Amino acid sequence: FTFLDTLYFGALISSTDPLTVLAIFNDLRVDVNLYALVFGESVLNDAVSIVLSGSIQNYEEHYSGSGGFETVAFFKAVGDFFGIFMLSLLIGAAMGCFTALLTKFTRVRDFPLLESALFVLMSYSTFLIAEASELTGVVSVLFCGMCQAHYTYNNLSDDSRIRTKQIFELLNFLAENFIFSYIGVSMFTFPKHHFDPLFILAGFTCAAIGRAANIYPLSYILNIARNPKIPANFQHMLFFSGLRGAMSFALAIRNTLSEARQTMLTTTSLIVIITVIIQGGAALHLLYWFQIPVGIDEETEALSSQGSRSGNGTPHSQDWNYVLGPDVPKPNEKGVLARIWGSFDTRYMKPLLTHSRPTLLETLPVCCNPVARLLTTTEQMTQETSRHGIRDSDSDLCINESDSVRDRRSSLARQFKSLG
């Protein structure tokens, strides 16, 4: 193993994939702040892991093999990391916003099938554009998806919302099952596995140590100025939510020419399988052991906080045998940056990219009225404020209140209560 090999392994194994844990969180209605922390960390980990591993490979390409540290190659790799990441982000965000404008200012919503096809193809074209530009397609698709979910989805017709949601749920289900089946089968059929017990043990140990060094110190630093704070039980759950998955495996299998890379693939496959089985299977018990509130959403949590301030417990919290403690973050408590972005998004971005109220005519200065009028649709001008100002379809992307989901949630809730 060379030093660059170990750096590459560290980059690929830092990617997390807590799908199992997030599925349980969603079914049990775990605190939305914990869900956001686990999901957001996983998403950014994947993006950074992809770009960082590519930057390490770029350093290796510019490395002359002199045996020492090469400053030029190092700064070239650092520049590639930030440049590729930011350009990929910009392409994804730009394509997502462009699709939102397209669905807002055209009558494509009168043709739901065409609208659905456009939504899917514009998302996929983001990946192709980024790859053709020698950037990272996965990162571009990630940020394009964020913009599509936050803006474009609100412009779609009801038929297209249902259709696109079902399409992506199906693709997500098929992809998850395929990749984990492939990882399991490849352990027995892939001809280039190389088992090194010492490296495998070191890989598991370093992954756990690195996870702890990531979660606890950063949470402490964030809690200095963050509101709401990240309580200790949330930090413990974040630590155990560090499952490795498809992204780590995909990065490891890209290059298996050397014995070191073959050992990385074998170690990564074992880490993925074992963390998914053990940590994913223990998620339900960990929620109980760490006394993390479940069975709540933003509305009931806000009501619970109001009830606790007035001295009255809520029936919902009593059902779970404990009341939300003072350390549990409430959704109505947001940081400064979140409040600033939320205000900017509500006043300018959503009125520009969707049919939301208030309109740009109401939020921009009077001198900008001619431009604001061009960017305001007739639907925005005539719609009822209560229809779009209160209801935001972003939540539809996160929570699907179907009968099957409710039944599964009830089953898991009973199982969770039985642990007590």
Alpha-carbon Rg of the chain, whole angstroms? Answer: 24
Ordered by where they begin, the domains of the chain are: 3-289 (1.20.1530.20)
CA atoms 118, 120, 126, 127: torsion sign: negative
What's the distance, Cα to Cα, between the start and end of the chain in Å?
Answer: 48
| pLDDT tens per residue, range 306-336 | 444 444 443 343 343 333 444 444 444 566 7
Mean pLDDT is lowest, of 146-155, 268-277, 361-370, 392-401, for: 392-401
Give the model's confidence band at 87: pLDDT under 50 very low, under 70 low, under 90 confident, else very high. Answer: very high
What is the rounded distance in angstroms from the CA atom of residue 300 to the CA atom of residue 30?
A: 12
What is the rounded distance in angstroms from the CA atom of residue 370 to the CA atom of residue 361?
A: 9
| Joined tokens for residue 195 | 């088992």
Mean pLDDT is lowest, of 26-35, 113-122, 235-244, for: 26-35
Mean pLDDT is lowest, of 160-169, 214-223, 286-295, for: 286-295
Is the pLDDT at 30 greater than 70? The verdict is yes
What is the rounded distance in angstroms from the CA atom of residue 77 to the CA atom of residue 317?
A: 51
| Joined tokens for residue 241 | 């939510």
Side chain identity at 50, as an amino acid letter?
A: I
> HSE of 241 in the Cβ direction (CA atoms, 13 Å)?
29
Q: What average pLDDT is seen over the chain?
A: 80
Give the model's confidence band at 90: pLDDT under 50 very low, under 70 low, under 90 confident, else very high. Answer: very high
| pLDDT tens per residue, range 143-198 | 999 999 999 999 999 999 999 999 988 998 898 889 888 888 888 888 888 888 99
Mean pLDDT of 90-109: 93
Burial (CB count within 10 angstroms: exposed 0-12, middle 13-18, buried 19+), residue 303 = middle
